[in-house]
Structure 1
Amino acid sequence: MTEVPKAFHPHPRSVHDLLFAPGSRGVLIATSRDPDAKRTFIVTPPPESYLDGPAGPVAIKIPVTVAAASAISRETRMLMALGEAQLGGLEPTVPRYLETLDSYGLPAVVTTVVKGAPMSVAYHRWLHTSRRQPVAKDFALAGGWLRHFQRATAGDRGRITWAREVADDVRSRWPGHPRLEAAQVRLAAADRQLKSYRTARTMVHGDYWFGNLLVDNGRITGVVDWENGARAGWPLRDLVRFALSYCLYVDRHTRPGHPVRGHRGLRRTGFGAGIRYGLLEEGWLSDLVRLYLRRGLDGLGLPSALWYGAALAGLGEIAATANDDEFAAQHLELLADLPYWPLADDLPRS
């Protein structure tokens, strides 16, 4: 008989038992209106609420929709797996699973709190992304944590089939889309480049963007929101996702059609101008993007010249998996418009 995991105990206590316990104090820190919308509270429960947990605050993530409940269940399983992994010095940066509560028949998860402010807070400060030094520091922080995490969780090596898997997922989600075949051609080119090489599968965060990285005193102190994680996946996923998301929003505070401060030749023109600029154009941001990707590939024992093929596959993955249809379609169209390769002399020699 299969043992029921602690996270899915058939009779968990109610979320109200913790939120409204005598002496409990809390604050709502995040909410959304997405299809998988959730509300996140930081709560200081009564002392000794968790005999094997923290004496201070805990985080409670409560689903608003059935889709959100599914995401919370996925995150719970991932957090339990992370709790069993040997993360070494990274362990304090990952929330620890404590309990699953009942929220009107849906699961709510309770975890420890990791300190720090989201990297997005600094990212959106005036001129932050217009200057090389703070941007270089962001890339260095994200890349450094990720390399340590991938080394700590590396498993069996295998031939890289990521781009082909992404292509299948894109075709399943977007049958009949007018740009589907063009996107498939780019993913086929990425697959031809990547499938010649092998790398270790690792644990994967699945949504490794700057909004999920917490920073304090110049270092990453927390990595949150593991609902898209995998126990054994392609490490290129996290590597590429950070670079693409970082470039996507560099024009966020620029009026449409106007030049983006600090980035010569970049204007806010349609969706993904920052991604195209970071992957294809010349400038200090492009230099940092390519350096970050190449260092990440080198850390995985892969040729640094695979960076562009990996970026194409990463765009395809967002097109296949993003929970917002418009956002996903925009990535599909962006992928379809990109060249197969950035520069002829940047191809790997395999």
Structure 2
Amino acid sequence: MTEATRAVHPLPGSVHEVLFAPATRGVLIAASRDPDAKLTFVVTPAANTYPTGPTGAVAIKIPATPAAAAAIRRETTMLIQLRDSRLGSIAGTIPQYVETLDSGGLPALVSTALPGTPMSVPYHRWLHTGRSRLVAADFALAGGWLRRFQTATAGEPAPITWAGQVSAQLRDRWHAHPHLEAALIRLAAADRQLSGHAVAQTVVHGDYWFGNLLVADDAISGVIDWEGGTRSGCPLRDLIRFALSYCLYLDRHTRPGHRVLRHRGLRHVGFGPGISYGLLSRGWLPDLVREYLRDGLRTLGLPAELWYSAALTGLGEIAALANSDEFGGSHLTLLAGLPPWPPTTQQEQG
């Protein structure tokens, strides 16, 4: 934008100037209570607010805490880096950075608003996760977008050190946890399997779960919330995160102690029984989960039988990086209770 244009149409400098402009229309779409809590508005700003920028709605993410401000700075950096990447046809599925506003001395992120409904909305509809056709479609959408994204951002191959890195992160965060040693034994087994292989480094979203995927017209129309992203990292991280998150909430609408409908052997008992079910049990959903992971590994040029070691490492990463101690600690305990290898390891053929 030229200085002359700025003089006629100065960009707003604060959140207040955008949200409370006379012609602005918007809605609060998300508010969290996490340590890095944020408020997210989708806003149609007044005409000429961005004379050389977006003409439609924008998303404004406002931090409620200093920790949230740090997360917004990380996401801002990622969106700027992604804007300069060659993403081809999927570029339109990633929010475009617009500007940073002041919110009481903390940065608020403005980005383009993307169309679509979060995959979490149909996920929580009655018996959505009990229907194999619908679940298979969710995995196909998530896996298909991820393959295209990883192909577009693939760089040089590097040895897979992910499990070793997660072990170090767990030691730092959970050094006094009673289940730490058991968890580290599982990660050591995973590292022995993974570390002998190399994989092309890619851009990593870092929180690739179904709540961050927008769907429209039976396609992924947007992938949001890039604050956990990195410009170059292990692509297994996003592959695993989607599968684990999808399994985690299978029992959400089932009363404690009761059987989860249409999933034989799965009951709402303890934390995350759906993860153990998805990784270790027999049935149509565990079959879908494991085939999704195997397909993702094959696409990355890795042996399909590494799926379980990668899943253990993904559990450890959630335990290490979760912004809630309760959530992270529960994943650590879950990891410690899983076998170091799946019961069918000897029969895995890849």
Give the equivalent residue in structure 1 for 2:314. 314
Task: Tell me the number of residue pairs that the alignment of Structure 1 and Structure 2 aligns.
Answer: 339
Which SS does the other structure have where 1:171 is aligned?
Answer: helix
Is 1:118 matched with 2:115? Answer: no
Identity of aligned residues (%): 65
Extract unaligned runs of 5+ from structure 1: 1-10
Is 1:264 matched with 2:261? Answer: no
CA distance in 2, matches of 1:292, 1:137: 11
Instruction: Give 1:24 shift.
Output: 1.3
Is 1:23 matched with 2:23? Answer: yes
Give the equivalent residue in structure 2 for 1:225. 225
Give the equivalent residue in structure 1 for 2:330. 330
Give the equivalent residue in structure 2 for 1:133. 133
Q: TM-score, normalised by structure 2?
A: 0.95
Which SS does the other structure have where 2:341 is aligned?
Answer: coil
CA distance in 2, matches of 1:346, 1:49: 61
Instruction: Give 1:347 shift.
Output: 5.5
Counterpart code for 2:36 = D
CA distance in 2, matches of 1:299, 1:262: 30
Counterpart code for 1:60 = I
CA distance in 2, matches of 1:40, 1:169: 30
Which SS does the other structure have where 2:291 is aligned?
Answer: helix
Is 1:90 matched with 2:90? Answer: yes
Which SS does the other structure have where 2:214 is aligned?
Answer: strand
CA distance in 1, matches of 2:96, 2:348: 42
Counterpart code for 1:190 = A
Give the equivalent residue in structure 2 for 1:345. 346
Greater CA deviation, 41-50 or 200-209? 41-50
Counterpart code for 1:201 = Q
Give the equivalent residue in structure 1 for 2:7. none
CA distance in 1, matches of 2:172, 2:223: 31
Give the equivalent residue in structure 2 for 1:78. 78
Which SS does the other structure have where 1:39 is aligned?
Answer: strand
Cα pair 2:12 2:49 within 8 Å, conserved: no
Instruction: Give 1:345 shift.
Output: 1.6
Give the equivalent residue in structure 2 for 1:41. 41
Instruction: Give 1:12 shift.
Output: 7.8
Give the equivalent residue in structure 1 for 2:56. 56
Which SS does the other structure have where 1:328 is aligned?
Answer: helix
Is 1:105 matched with 2:105? Answer: yes
Instruction: Give 1:19 shift.
Output: 1.2
Moved over 2 A (4+): 346-349
CA distance in 1, matches of 2:19, 2:50: 14
Which SS does the other structure have where 1:145 is aligned?
Answer: helix
Cα pair 1:97 1:111 within 8 Å, conserved: yes
- Residue by residue, what CA displacement relative to the aligned partner does 1:240-265 show, whole Å, maximum 9, x if unpaired? 00000000000111111111101111
CA distance in 2, matches of 1:164, 1:82: 28
CA distance in 2, matches of 1:175, 1:238: 26
- Residue by residue, what CA displacement relative to the aligned partner does 1:308-345 show, whole Å, maximum 9, x if unpaired? 00000000000000000011000000000000111232
Give the equivalent residue in structure 2 for 1:190. 190
Which SS does the other structure have where 1:261 is aligned?
Answer: coil
Instruction: Give 1:51 shift.
Output: 2.8
